């Protein structure tokens, strides 16, 4: 009796273990099928599905619709069909865009980040019968036409031959635009003290800059290398002349020291 009992019990244990093993095998097969399907979906299907999210970080003056159009994106654009370098080049070609960053996030997200051009100075151009402001950025690009000079906060550049939209300053003047932008960020009060910068070509080579202060009739002449130190020194000398009865027409800083002439006297 005892032997038969243990024999039956052993058979039950074997059968039970067999069922568990078969169940585990089925579960493993199902898990493998699900995993394989997910891999196929993730890498074989979803990258070809149109983007679910297109983030556009633009700026005023250039709408989302215009940016999407520039990028040549449509309802069929997907992770695999989209070349971020080509999109960056397309959107960067717009005159108002200084730079662009385009990124893809697997499997179905695209982001476009745009940096706008910002004014370093403004010049005047003629449209029809009137003169209008033409903005210049730190790279020397004439990128936008304005309607008024009021409240711009940047100096007027004069002496430029026939400036037009989408033109550039001569290469020798690009450092001037870069310096003006740097000063406008670090010491905007210095630029606010200048109403106009006239560019005068030298008879042999290069340029001089003639500065017209806001609160003085005295012109200031400098080399084509405008810095914060030059402007501070200029304002200091102009303050000295504020209470003087005799004033020079112009102070020359090209030598690094301010020189001027009053009648028959000079310094």
Residue-wise DSSP of 166-199: T-B--GGGHHHHHHHHHHHHH-HHHHHTEEEEEE
DSSP 3-state of 95 = coil
State residue 266's pLDDT score: 47
pLDDT band at 258; cut points 50, 70, 90: low
CA–CA separation, 6 and 46 (whole Å): 57
Would you call 13 exposed, middle or buried from its count of C-beta atoms within 10 A (0-12, 13-18, 19+)? exposed
Segment 190-216 mean pLDDT: 89
State residue 42's pLDDT score: 53
Among residues 261, 253, 215, the alpha carbon closest in space to that of 234 is found at 253
pLDDT at 91 over 90: yes
Segment 37-51 mean pLDDT: 60
CA–CA separation, 43 and 104 (whole Å): 15
pLDDT band at 128; cut points 50, 70, 90: confident
Would you say 182 and 118 are in contact if contact means Cβ atoms under 8 Å apart? no
Segment 3-21 mean pLDDT: 57
Residue in the block written with tokens 């493993």 = 28
Segment 57-75 mean pLDDT: 93
pLDDT band at 14; cut points 50, 70, 90: low
Angle between helices 84-92 and 64-71 (to 10 degrees): 120
Segment 120-133 mean pLDDT: 87
Among residues 157, 117, 167, the alpha carbon closest in space to that of 137 is found at 117
Point out which residues pair with 246 in neighbouring strands: none
Q: What is the pTM of this model?
A: 0.74
Segment 254-266 mean pLDDT: 65
CA–CA separation, 181 and 188 (whole Å): 9
Would you say 96 and 117 are in contact if contact means Cβ atoms under 8 Å apart? yes
pLDDT band at 64; cut points 50, 70, 90: very high
pLDDT at 218 over 80: yes
Would you say 131 and 157 are in contact if contact means Cβ atoms under 8 Å apart? no
State residue 224's pLDDT score: 83
Task: Provide the H-helix boundaries in the chain.
Answer: 2-39, 64-71, 84-92, 174-186, 188-192, 228-242
Segment 172-194 mean pLDDT: 92
pLDDT at 201 over 70: yes
The mean predicted confidence, pLDDT, of the chain is 83
pLDDT at 21 over 50: yes
The two three-digit tokens of residue 99, written as one number: 């730079």
pLDDT band at 147; cut points 50, 70, 90: confident
Q: Is the peptide bond before 107 cis (omega within 30 degrees of 0)?
A: yes
Higher pLDDT, 157 or 9: 157
Angle between helices 228-242 and 174-186 (to 10 degrees): 70
């Amino acid at each position: 009796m005892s032997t038969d009992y243990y024999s039956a019990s052993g058979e039950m244990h074997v059968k039970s273990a067999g069922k568990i093993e078969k169940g585990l095998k089925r579960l493993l097969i199902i898990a493998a099928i699900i995993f394989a399907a997910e891999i196929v979906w993730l890498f074989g299907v979803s990258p070809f599905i149109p983007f679910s999210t297109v983030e556009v970080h633009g700026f005023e003056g250039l709408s989302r619709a215009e940016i999407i159009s520039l990028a040549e994106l449509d309802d069929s654009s997907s992770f695999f069909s989209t070349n971020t370098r080509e999109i960056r080049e397309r959107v960067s070609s717009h005159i108002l865009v200084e730079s662009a960053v385009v990124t893809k996030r697997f499997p179905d997200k695209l982001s476009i980040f745009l940096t706008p051009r910002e004014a370093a100075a403004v010049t005047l151009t003629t449209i029809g019968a009137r003169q209008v402001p033409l903005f210049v950025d730190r790279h020397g690009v004439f990128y936008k036409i304005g309607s008024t000079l009021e409240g711009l906060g940047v100096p007027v550049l004069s002496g430029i031959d026939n400036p037009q939209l989408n033109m550039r300053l001569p290469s020798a003047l690009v450092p001037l635009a870069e310096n003006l932008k740097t000063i406008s960020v670090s010491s905007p009060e210095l630029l606010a003290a200048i109403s106009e910068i006239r560019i005068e070509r030298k008879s042999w080579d290069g340029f001089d800059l003639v500065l017209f202060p806001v609160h003085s009739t005295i012109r200031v002449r400098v080399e084509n290398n405008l810095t914060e130190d030059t402007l501070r020194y200029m304002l200091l000398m102009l303050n000295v002349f504020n209470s003087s009865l005799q004033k020079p027409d112009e102070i020359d800083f090209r030598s690094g020291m301010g020189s001027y002439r009053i009648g028959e006297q000079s310094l």
